[in-house]
Structure 1
């Protein structure tokens, strides 16, 4: 399988948004758009990552869509199983509630909540061992990019998890490249710059795992309908992790259409 034939993923990361009524309206609007302008499952894998207290509610609402739309957890505990860990949700509890996908390594978790390599590795190991598919986020800061360190930083973040990922588990990992300087800023890496980084990530994955050529690599960082078509045309960009634009049903649907139309 070549990178250009990988089924693209489009995942909406709602972050700490929105209130319940708006979330329900957003899903209803998105389901309606899928009914009126269907996106075939074999053309694009779709997912929504709501806040933790809304996971099962959103999961139920998405079940009424005319196709599978996955519910994605925004986080998972570094502690496995069950126990006296107030506020935590383990990988096993997520799977028990029918959640099969989780984001790990987002720059906001790394920077705001000080999640270092050891914490992220514990989360990844627990998630994979519980059978979850991990969307692992990597990306560099503006300072690192301007210092010429972007590729080294991103490839190191991928190498960091190799110690805890078993050989067959790489097939259950999706990489999401999000340049930190483009998240929520309205700035976007040019399609050429994004493709260049994705190609480097692909090359790095091929050196680590035999699944490197079949793994989806998503782009995140102010993805919107206006740039989705150009990004989707890049051979090593296999979808998008969408932030703010996923809070608008029409915008999110248009982005999904852009990537689906590449298949």
Structure 2
């Protein structure tokens, strides 16, 4: 079971959405919800992950709200140099971005982010002082063949060699069963809790910080299932996809997890 001192995280991954006009409306709606009925930083950390070209604009517009701005990805190359199209951890940090997603299944599956590439991204992000939201998850085939726990725990072990002891406090885990991302399917709260407990157990074998690391659930999270997921002892928040593009839905999900504190 997770430690009672873990503050939940609710992070909206906008992916390759939305267009400018819709983004502006979404930001205004978010500001309205999160400033009129504030969720304190002590009850829940809130973040949104826009496309890279919108990071600084979104950060500037949300600076007077509790909502943090999160990068969706980071280069496997550190520092500066002749790497066209890349954005390094140092550039993110220099721009005031403190948080980054690494290892999302879409990066692994569509863009061929191997375990080695993901490990490099985590290492450079941590070295630059960023907080990493590290994504893990199994495919439907892996779950049906009984390999789900093995696959997810291996993904945790993949980064263990590059995370220094004191850096685990800058790691958040996001468990997203690949078969539940954008499909409308959600792991049952019981199944999600079982996997989260296994992740907690695995983390505790790697680091003495294991009991303090937030483990988020992702995969078709919406207001209708957020309360039930939030009630699970080892689910410390949510990585939200489609529902984060609607300010009211996103706020309701954040409320569900904030109320657990």
User: Do the two structures share a fold, i.e. TM-score over 0.5?
Assistant: yes
Please say if 1:120 is aligned against 2:118. Answer: yes
Q: Secondary structure at the match of 2:174?
A: strand
Q: Check conservation: 1:72, 1:102, Cα contact below 8 A.
A: yes
Aligned position for 1:6: 6
CA distance in 2, matches of 1:6, 1:163: 24
Q: Check conservation: 2:221, 2:243, Cα contact below 8 A.
A: yes
Please, what TM-score do these two structures have when normalized by structure 2?
A: 0.98
Aligned position for 1:52: 52
Q: Check conservation: 1:222, 1:243, Cα contact below 8 A.
A: yes
Please, what TM-score do these two structures have when normalized by structure 1?
A: 0.98
CA distance in 2, matches of 1:17, 1:3: 35
User: Deviation of residue 2 (structure 1)?
Assistant: 4.5
Write out aligned runs for 1:17-96 (5 A).
Answer: 17-65=17-65, 68-96=66-94
Aligned position for 1:258: 256
CA distance in 1, matches of 2:63, 2:193: 34
Q: Check conservation: 1:3, 1:238, Cα contact below 8 A.
A: no
Instruction: Please give the root-mean-square deviation of Cα atoms over the aligned residues, in Å.
Output: 1.0
Aligned position for 1:238: 236
Unmatched segments (≥5 aa) in structure 1: none
Q: Check conservation: 1:24, 1:61, Cα contact below 8 A.
A: no
**How many residues align structurally?**
261
Q: Secondary structure at the match of 1:135?
A: strand
CA distance in 2, matches of 1:244, 1:26: 13
Q: Check conservation: 2:2, 2:234, Cα contact below 8 A.
A: no
CA distance in 1, matches of 2:106, 2:35: 34
Write out aligned runs for 1:87-236 (5 A).
Answer: 87-236=85-234
CA distance in 2, matches of 1:203, 1:181: 23
Q: Check conservation: 2:2, 2:233, Cα contact below 8 A.
A: no
Unmatched segments (≥5 aa) in structure 2: none
Q: Secondary structure at the match of 1:82?
A: coil
Runs of 4+ in 1 over 3 A off after TM superposition: none
